[in-house]
Amino acid sequence: MQFELNEDQALLKASTREMLAAESPITESRAVMEDNPDGYAKKLYGELGELGYTGILQSDDNGGMGAIAFTAVLAEMGRVAFPGPFLDVAIAVHALEACNGDTAARWRDGASSGNKIVVLARGENMASSDDASVASQFANGSVTGSKVFVPFGAQADALLVETEQGLALVTRPDAGWNATPLTTLDHAQRFCNIELDDPASLLAEGSEAGKILDDAARLGALGATALMLGCMESALEASLKYTSERKAFGVPIGSFQGLQHRAADMLIKTESTRAAVYRAAWAEENSEPDAGYLVSVAKAWAGPAGRFVCGQAIQLHGGVGYTWEYDIHMWFKRIKTLEQFYGSTRAHVEAALLNSPHV
């Protein structure tokens, strides 16, 4: 029995941290958040594809590395509040791999190599990311419908659209998407609503499409939880650094028990998230029957835990924690956004309840 990453996974985690420190430190995430209308750096995104990251969820044969490696990489990305559509594309690549046909294969190549952005477009209800009803239609080689909160939809080269008939691929029209960009809490996460009335290919139908979308939802929740773990790690580390340097009443404020106990609680929540998310990742990688349940447990736990940790981080920073200049808000906002998608906290609590051995 062991909980640590194996040698390959540990190496991947270390090299990812090194690569992100060089290419995408938190200062770079901030620059993208503030200045880049796309919300991501195209060059870096391409490099991630070249290095094989974007295809990480594919099968072994296609260069995939498994759910545990996926989790480790995303936790590293959370640490730097990584901007861009990485998680959404990784899930879309996984979905494309499960679809038959040349179109799917071609787009999978494009997305996994970092040349193209393909994301899933599922939700149709602005008030609930858990509302599974879908009115979008695939008929006569076209998709019609309205999708909301499509992640990096305006930047996408193709969308995997959930329709009543199945999963359809729509490529970006020459004139661009009929998209309405949304301004959200987290300025580095770009969402838009998209009106679709475009030529499309149906890639999967019926139960096959259902399974592909269920897998995407589960892997998305796992990845989001890993991102939240990374955000928590960074918020805690930043707080420890700040409270050891900042002095009040002649001593470092981190020497006050009131602050120490807050920090201890941040560690408890962070480490518990780590235990829960890696346990879920292990179950996913080994196709354990309770993988879905354990992913729901991890996601249901991580949202509130992450808000707690990042909220405490703001508190421990005092007034400067509320400034744009300090980085804490980047993790605080990312966690809140992640909590709303890939199944909300409430949806995963309900799923955990239904799938638990107790009920």
Partner 1 sequence: MDLHLTPEAEKFRDDLRAWLTANLDHPYTQDVLDAKNDEDSLVEVRRAFQKKLNDAGYLGMAWPAEWGGRGATQIEEAILKAELAAADAPQSPNALGLGLCAPALIHHGTEAQRKRFLPPMLSCDEIWCQGFSEPGAGSDLAGIRCKAEPDGDDFRITGQKVWTTLGPWSDWIFLLARTDMEDRHGGITFFLMPIDQPGVEMRALKQISGESEFGEVFFDNALAKGEHVVGKLGEGWRIAMTVLGFERGGSTLLPAAEYSRQLDGLIRALKENGQFERDDVREKVGNLIVENEVLRANGLRSLAAVAQGLPPGAESSIDKIFWSEYHQRLTDAAVELLGPQGQLELRSPGAHTDVHWMHQFLWSRAGTIYSGSSEIQRNIIAKRVLQMPTK
Task: Find, among 231, 233, 257, 253, the residue nearest to 242 by Cα.
Answer: 253
Q: Which two tokens stand for residue 90?
A: 């990784």
Q: Is 358 in the site for partner 1 (CB under 8 A)?
A: yes
Q: Is 43 in the site for partner 1 (CB under 8 A)?
A: no
- Residue among 119, 294, 309, 313 that touches partner 1 (CB under 8 A): 294
Helices 86-98 & 67-79 angle (0-180, nearest 10): 160
CA distance 170 to 200: 5
Rounded to an integer, what is the distance from CA 263 to the centroid of its chain?
Answer: 26
CA distance 37 to 111: 21
Stretch of 117-125, 139-147, 207-215, 280-288 contacting partner 1, by CB under 8 A: 280-288
The helix (run of H) or strand (run of E) holding residue 179 is: strand 178-182
Residue closer to partner 1 by CB (options 199, 318) is 318
Question: Taken in order 62, 92, 99, 195, is the CA torsion positive or negative?
Answer: negative
- Residue among 23, 240, 340, 344 that touches partner 1 (CB under 8 A): 240
Q: Is 225 in the site for partner 1 (CB under 8 A)?
A: no
CA distance 301 to 26: 25
Residue 7's Cβ-count burial label (10 Å; 0-12, 13-18, 19+) is exposed
Q: Is 278 in the site for partner 1 (CB under 8 A)?
A: yes
Q: Is 241 in the site for partner 1 (CB under 8 A)?
A: no
Stretch of 102-110, 164-172, 195-203, 273-281 contacting partner 1, by CB under 8 A: 273-281
Q: Which two tokens stand for residue 174?
A: 């020459």
Q: Is 254 in the site for partner 1 (CB under 8 A)?
A: yes
Q: Is 353 in the site for partner 1 (CB under 8 A)?
A: yes
CA distance 26 to 267: 21
Q: Is 56 in the site for partner 1 (CB under 8 A)?
A: no
Q: Is 128 in the site for partner 1 (CB under 8 A)?
A: no
Task: Find, among 151, 153, 157, the residue nearest to 174 by Cα.
Answer: 157
Residue closer to partner 1 by CB (options 4, 102) is 4
Q: How far is CA 352 from CA 108, 112, 223, in A?
A: 32, 32, 17
- Residue among 300, 310, 328, 338 that touches partner 1 (CB under 8 A): 300
Residue closer to partner 1 by CB (options 155, 273) is 273
Least distance CB 330 / partner 1 (angstroms): 22
Which residues of the chain form contacts with partner 1 (CB under 8 A)?
A: 1-6, 9, 68, 240, 243-244, 251-252, 254-255, 257, 259-261, 263-265, 267-268, 271-272, 274-276, 278-279, 281-283, 286, 294, 296-298, 300-301, 346, 348-350, 352-353, 356-359
